[in-house]
Amino acid sequence: MKSFRKELWFNTSKRREFINITDEIEKCLKESGINEGILLCNAMHITASVFINDDESGLHKDFERFLEKLAPEKPYDQYQHNGFEDNADAHLKRQIMGREVLIAITDGKLDFGPWEQIFYGEFDGMRKKRVLVKIIGE
CA distance linking residue 59 with residue 117, whole number of Å: 13
Q: Which residues of 40-63 are buried (b: 16+ CB within 10 A; e: fewer)?
A: ebbbebebbbbbbbeeeeeebeeb
What are the sequence ranges of the domains in the chain? 2-137
- Quick one: pLDDT at residue 22? 98
- Quick one: pLDDT at residue 84? 84
pTM for the full predicted model: 0.96
- β-pair partners for 120: 19, 50
- Digit-by-digit pLDDT tens for the chain (138 residues) are 999 999 999 999 999 999 999 999 999 999 999 999 999 999 999 999 999 999 999 999 999 999 999 999 999 999 999 988 899 999 999 999 999 999 999 999 999 999 999 999 999 999 999 999 999 999
Check: CB of residue 45 under 8 Å from CB of residue 18.
Answer: no
Architecture of the domain defined by 2-137: Sandwich (2.60)
